[in-house]
Structure 1
Amino acid sequence: MKQIEGIEDITLFVDEFYNKVRMDDFIGPIFNEAIDDWSHHLEKLYAFWNAALFGVPGFRGNPFAKHAPLPIGPDHFDRWLKLFFETIDAHFEGVVAADAKNRAELMAFMFLNRLSQMNGDPGKVIV
């Protein structure tokens, strides 16, 4: 077990995590339907986590707006978090690993809260 130290570690956990997501019977079909170019998507995720965990500039985007139209709810986020935690815990320990899991939980909570405010209208994106 090691600390998450930089982009190489981020690439490892993002790649492994999204391989699990893509293969998952429950959330995999949603992601696979929504994402045409996985290599582009993964590049954005490397930049997102590098910015979130280490403050490295380079991420641009609105993750919530991309997720808002998807048919997702609390059970989907529970599975997403389970797979994320499994991936982090299989490779990493320490402060940054704990921070990554905390940020994932906060993101899931925020997304669920904002989705509930949309009152079932996927066309109403709250930015």
Structure 2
Amino acid sequence: MKKAITSRADVEELVNRFYDRVKADDLLGPIFHDVARVNWDKHLPIMYDFWCSILLDEDVYHRNAMIPHLQLHKRYPLQEAHFQRWLQLFHETVNTYFEGEKAALAKLRATSIAGVMRTKLGLLQQIQTSHQK
């Protein structure tokens, strides 16, 4: 049964279910496991704070989310397919387990965040250039 996102526990459930999908994904899993070598015990609480800040207006995330992604991109250039898959898994997770205003906000913000990251990594320019050819 779907539920509304109303608490930190709900955000933690969303993040955990999403990253379970990411870890198992053939495209994204190797990036997280082999390239970024994510320490999940450290990463997940950071993601809880990030999404609680966004969805619940909690003042708990005080980092620059772009820095680790820029560092990763230098070692392993992220492609549009990675962002598309990340968004697909995120939206599927939200749609499977949650409903309501905060669920819609989560999907909207995820799409926006992916767009900002693409722009900062120079991917949108690459996409536009390839469509013009």
The one-letter code of the counterpart of 1:46 is Y
Residue in 1 that maps onto 2:104: 98
CA 1:36 to 1:79, structure 2 compared with 1: closer, same or farther past 3 Å? closer
- Conservation of the 8 A alpha-carbon contact between 1:21 and 1:28: yes
Indicate whether 1:53 and 2:55 are aligned. yes
Q: Taking structure 2 as the reference length, what is the TM-score of the superposition?
A: 0.84
Q: Which has the larger radius of gyration?
A: 2
Summarize the alignment of residues 34-49 of structure 1 with structure 2, pairs less than 5 Å apart.
34-49=36-51
- Which stretch shifts more, 67-76 or 87-96? 67-76
User: Which amino acid counterpart does residue 30 of structure 1 have in structure 2?
Assistant: I
Displacement over 4 Å in runs of 4+: none
Report the RMSD for the aligned CA atoms in angstroms.
1.7
Structure 2 Cα separation of the partners of residues 36 and 17 of structure 1: 15
| Aligned-partner Cα distance in 1 for 2:17–2:3 | 16
- Equivalent pair of 1:35/1:41 in contact (CA under 8 Å): no
Distance 1:62 1:35 in 2: 19
Q: 1:72 aligns with which of 72, 78, 91?
A: 78
Query: How far has the Cα of 1:36 moved from its partner?
Result: 3.6
Kept in 2, the 8 Å contact 1:3–1:94? The answer is yes
What is the match of residue 114 of structure 2?
108
- SS for the counterpart of 1:77 is helix
Q: Amino acid of the residue matched to residue 54 of structure 1?
A: L
Cα deviation code 1:69-88 (max 9, x no counterpart): 33212110000000001110
Q: Is the 8 A contact 2:21 2:89 kept in 1?
A: yes
TM-score, normalised via structure 1 length: 0.88
Q: 2:87 aligns with which of 68, 81, 93?
A: 81
Q: Hey, what's the Cα distance between the residues in 1 that align with 2:79 and 2:104?
A: 24
Decide which structure has greater helix share.
2
List aligned pairs for 1:12-51, cutoff 5 A: 12-33=13-34, 34-51=36-53
Q: Which residue does the alignment assign to 1:2?
A: 3
